Amino acid sequence: MQIHDVTPHGTKHANRKRVGRGVGSGMGKTATRGHKGQRSRSGDNPRIGFEGGQMPLFRRIPKRGFTNPFKQEFTLLNVGSLDVFEPGTTVELELVLEQGLTRKTGKLFKVLGTGEVTRKLTVRAHKFSAAAKTKIEAAGGTAEIIA
C-alpha cells in the first residue's frame, strides 16, 4: 500500500479496469482477452441465439399453433355492472372506462350477460351476447350495435 492508495473514508468502488493500455498496466499484451479464439478478436459478435454451431434452442423446441393476424380484441363488461349508471343514460365504452368499471384491452366493446340490470339504459357497443341483449331490453332499455 502506498500513500496515494489511502482514502479518508475508504473506497466505495473499485477502480475501472483500463484494458489495452500497454504491458505495464497489469492488463497488458492480450488485454484480458486470452490467446486466439473468436472472443480474442475485434468484431466478435455472433448473432443472438447462436450457440457455437450447436442447434439453437429456438430451433430445438417444437412449434405449435399460429397467431391469427385478424383477431379482434374486445373490452368486456357484464350487464350486472351497468346498474351504477342513472336511468336514461347512454352507456358507451368511454363512459365505462371513465367510471373505472373495466380496463381497456381492445378497441371494440362487448357486453356480456352475467348479472342483472334493473335500470332503463341505452347501451351502445360493438357486440352483445344474446343474454345481455335480452336483459337490457327486459329492463326497458335498448341495445344499439355500433357498426
Between residues 10 and 20, the one the model is more confident about? 20
Instruction: Give me the residue label for grid cell 500500500.
Output: 1
Q: Could you identify the residue written with the cell 454451431?
A: 53
Rounded Cα distance between 122 and 89, Å, is 6
Q: Same domain, yes or no, for 53 and 99? A: no
Q: What is the pTM of this model?
A: 0.59
Answer yes or no: is 6 within a domain.
no
- Kindly state whether residues 82 and 134 are assigned to the same domain: yes
- The total of other beta-carbon atoms located within 10 Å of residue 109's CB is 24
Instruction: State mean pLDDT over 62-68.
Output: 94
- Name 90's Cβ contacts closer than 8 Å, sequence gap at least 6: 121, 122, 123, 124
Residue 8 domain flag = no
Q: Is 3 helix (H, G, I), strand (E, B) or coil?
A: helix
**DSSP conformation class of 51:** B
Residue 15 has pLDDT above 90, yes or no: no
Segment 4-20 shows an average pLDDT of 79
pLDDT digits (tens, 9 = 90+) for 27-63: 888 999 999 988 899 888 889 999 999 999 999 999 9
> Domain check: are 78 and 124 in the same one?
yes
Q: What is the pLDDT at residue 10?
A: 67
Is 4 inside any structural domain?
no
Please indicate, yes or no, whether residues 108 and 48 belong to a single structural domain of this protein: no
Our count of domains for the chain comes to 2
- Tally the C-alpha atoms within 13 A of residue 110's C-alpha that lie toward its C-beta: 15
State which of 65, 83, 106 marks the end of a domain. 65
Q: What is the pLDDT of residues 85-138, one digit of tens each?
A: 999 999 999 999 999 999 998 999 999 999 999 999 999 999 999 999 999 999
Angle at alpha carbon of residue 48, lines to 45 and 50, rounded to 5°: 85
Q: Which domain holds residue 101?
A: 74-145
Q: Verify that 80 and 50 share a domain, yes or no.
A: no
Return the pLDDT at 3.
86
Q: What is the CATH number of the domain that holds 104?
A: 3.100.10.10
